[in-house]
Structure 1
Amino acid sequence: MSGDEHTETGTGWPEPTGPTGKPDPRPDAPDPDELSPLAPEVEVDPEPPPGETTLDRSTGRSFTSALALVGGWRRTSPATVMIFVLLALLGFTLVEQLRTTSTDPTTSAARQEDLVRILYDLNAQEDRLRQDIAALEDSQRQLRSGEQGRQAALEEAARRADELGILAGTLPAQGPGLVVRFEPGGAAAISAIRMLDAVQELRGAGAEAMQISGGDRVTVRIVASTYFLDGENGSVFVDGRLLTGPYTITVIGDPATMRTALNIPGGVVATVDGDGGTVIVEDREVAEVSALHAPVELEHARPIT
């Protein structure tokens, strides 16, 4: 092939020519590189027909992702759905319980002193019950053991008789306790209802034995059947005996618990102070209750055998 028929291009390929072997002089002629067999083919999206709506590719991908998410929810097992429902119910229950507890009118209205007193009384009562249980269990074990059991039975009977005698007021007693003195102020007298309130609060705090004395040294043992009536000139009848003020109650029991019971808000101490009187409470390591209550002869009641 001669040099007139082609020109070197540096690539070894002949320079493209038109139909006559020369470069195509037309302005809209294709680029010769586009006609090279090594040029990649470029896909061109066809123009949509007039009036036809097209869907953008990014929009199509988002729609496909949404379909995949819906399909994933459809494939969710019933157990998973049930777990979500139970967790939602549990969260609602916890929130409702916290809201109810935080708005409880009973605990929100109680003062700190009242709550401390209630807790202290409950702890003291629990300790006494535990001691009683331990004593009863020990007595049961001793009663089941032969000759020693019979001796223990006699000792237990004597101990129970002593306890009943103290409770009934037929035996004197001593032990730790309080001395509570009621002094009227001015024209205000200490009424019988105030004395009864004091006795009831002391009993509720675990008092085991009590007696009341007047300013005239008359002393009366306080038992379950004791009653109080107002007399003349600020005097008080206790079980039919006339006492004049000031009055002194000697009580055996846990001093701290009984003191707390007397000093609760709205209790005996606060009420007597409001009436113009004074209540003086003193601890005693050894308080003596020596007044005796005459036993009552029963006419109708008989023990069941």
Structure 2
Amino acid sequence: MSEEHRETGTGWPEPAEPARPSGPAGEPDPRPDAPDPDELSPLTPAEREADAPPAEESAGEEPSGSAAPVSRRLTSAGAMIAVLLALLGFTLVVQLKTTSTDSSLTATREEDLVRISSDLDSRERRLRQDIAALEDSQRQLRSGEQGRQAALDEATRRADELGILAGTLPAVGPGLSVRFVGGGKAIAATRILDAVQELRGAGAEAMQIAGSDGAAVRVIASTYFVDAQGGGLMVDGRRLTGPYTILVIGDSATMRTALNIPGGVVASVADDGGNVIVEDREAVEVSQLHAPIKLEHARPVS
């Protein structure tokens, strides 16, 4: 028995391991049936795993701790994108709600739209008449010999108009009688003020308000309305008790339309349990006068 054989304890020698074929260093065996080089390694699998370097270090990769910043960066970017998408969605929802909301005129009934259109037409006609009157006055003032008399007449007419507006002169003309009757709730001063504002906007030229006892107050630009303690109204410092009646001179159709618009004076008083009675009159007399304001500093220019 040669030196390459050693006893196995069974009487037969253990065959020697095949020798690795000689060849250039680092090149695999070119034979097709050659065993895997790892199978020819004298080390056992456990020893090979123990001697092998860590996978991260052998592959030249970074330690596992470097994955945490990348994950955090991805998470921050995702959160920012989610916030931007949420803001975009909120903006779209608000825009849709805004565009889909019906305006007051869109939800108004056809007959109410007709009344509003008629009111606007009446205002346009009145303004055109005022423009025509002013242009005629301008031509008369520039007409030479008749200029002085025309200027005097124009000044007198203007003084009368200002006297009516200031409440220092009585007035008569076609208009309305507007009566406010309270129900379970007294008529508030804000309702009367709203009525006065609506009437002024519809072209009212003169008006006065009276209480149940007949006491009346001329309504001018500086008139105020306040709820009185114990009931009633304080109008320019004078106490009035309901029901209240407003006499107003102007275009009755236009003023009636202004009072009856949806959500206007008539509707508001009805919501409070009261009632507004509007009557047309061919001749309304506004006779209550307002004391002239005493000027302290102003004087006319000569």
The bucket for the TM-score relative to the shorter chain is 0.5 to 0.7
* Regions of 4+ moved over 4 Å: 102-105, 301-305
Question: Structure 2: how far apart are the matches of 1:129 and 1:179?
Answer: 24
Change (3 A) 1:259 1:150: same
Whole-Å Cα distance in 1 between the matches of residues 243 and 207 of structure 2?
A: 17
Residue pair 2:108, 2:262 contacting (<8 A) in 1 also: no
* 2:221 counterpart letter in structure 1: A
Counterpart in the other structure of 2:126: 128
Change (3 A) 1:274 1:108: closer
**Matches of 1:254 and 1:272 in 2, distance apart?**
23
Shift, 1:126, TM fit: 1.2
Distance 1:130 1:138 in 2: 12
Residue 161 (1) aligns with residue 159 (2): yes
Task: Give 1:115 shift.
Answer: 2.5
Cα deviation 1:149-200 (Å, max 9, x = unaligned): 11111111100100000011100001110000111114x1111111101101
Equivalent of residue 272 in structure 1, options 246, 254, 269: 269
Distance 1:104 1:140, change over 3 A: farther
Tell me which residue corresponds to 1:224. 221
Q: TM-score, normalised by structure 1?
A: 0.63
Which residue is equivalent to 1:300?
Answer: 297
Distance in 2 (alpha carbons) for counterparts of 1:104 and 1:126: 30
Match runs of 1:26-65 below 5 Å: none
SS at match of 1:147: coil
Residue 197 of structure 1 is matched in structure 2 by: 194
**SS in structure 2 at match of 1:199:** helix
Instruction: State the secondary structure of the residue aligned to 1:216.
Output: coil
Counterpart of 2:230 in 1: which secondary structure? helix
Deviation at 1:232, TM superposition (A): 2.8
1:116 is aligned to 114
**CA deviation after TM superposition for structure 1 residue 124, in Å:** 1.1
SS at structure 1 position matched to 2:128: helix
Whether the aligned pair in 2 keeps the contact of 1:207 and 1:258 (CA below 8 Å) is yes
Q: Indicate which of 183, 186, 198 corresponds to 1:185.
A: 183
Q: For the Cα contact (< 8 Å) 2:208–2:286, is it kept in 1?
A: yes
Separation in 1 of the partners of 2:209 and 2:137?
A: 35
Please give the alpha-carbon distance, in whole angstroms, between the structure 2 residues aligned to 1:274 and 1:151: 55
Match of 2:248 among 240, 248, 251: 251
Q: CA deviation at 1:120?
A: 1.5
1:233 shift after superposition = 3.3
Aligned-residue offset at 1:303: 5.9
Query: Could you tell me which of 139, 150, 153 is aligned with 1:152?
Result: 150
- 2: CA distance, partners of 1:104 / 1:122: 25
Structure 2 residue identity aligned to 1:182 = F
Find the counterpart in structure 1 of residue 53 from structure 2: none
**How many Å separate the matches in 2 of 1:116 and 1:301?**
47
Query: RMSD of aligned C-alpha atoms?
Result: 2.0
Residues 150 and 219 of structure 1, relative CA distance in 2, 3 Å threshold: same
Q: Report the identity percentage.
A: 74
Alignment deviations for residues 181-237 of structure 1 (CA, whole Å, 9 cap, x no partner): 111114x11111111011011111111100000011110000000000111332100
- Alpha-carbon distance in structure 2 between the residues aligned to 1:257 and 1:292: 25
Aligned residue for 2:263, secondary structure, equals coil
Structure 2 alignment gaps of length 5 or more: 1-98
Query: 3-state DSSP class of the match of 1:281?
Result: strand
- Residue 257 of structure 1: CA displacement? 0.6
Distance in 2 (CA, whole Å) between partners of 1:108 and 1:184 is: 31
The match for 2:174 is 176
Whether 1:260 aligns to 2:247 is no
Deviations 1:106-145 (A, max 9, x none): 4643432342233212211111111111111211121122
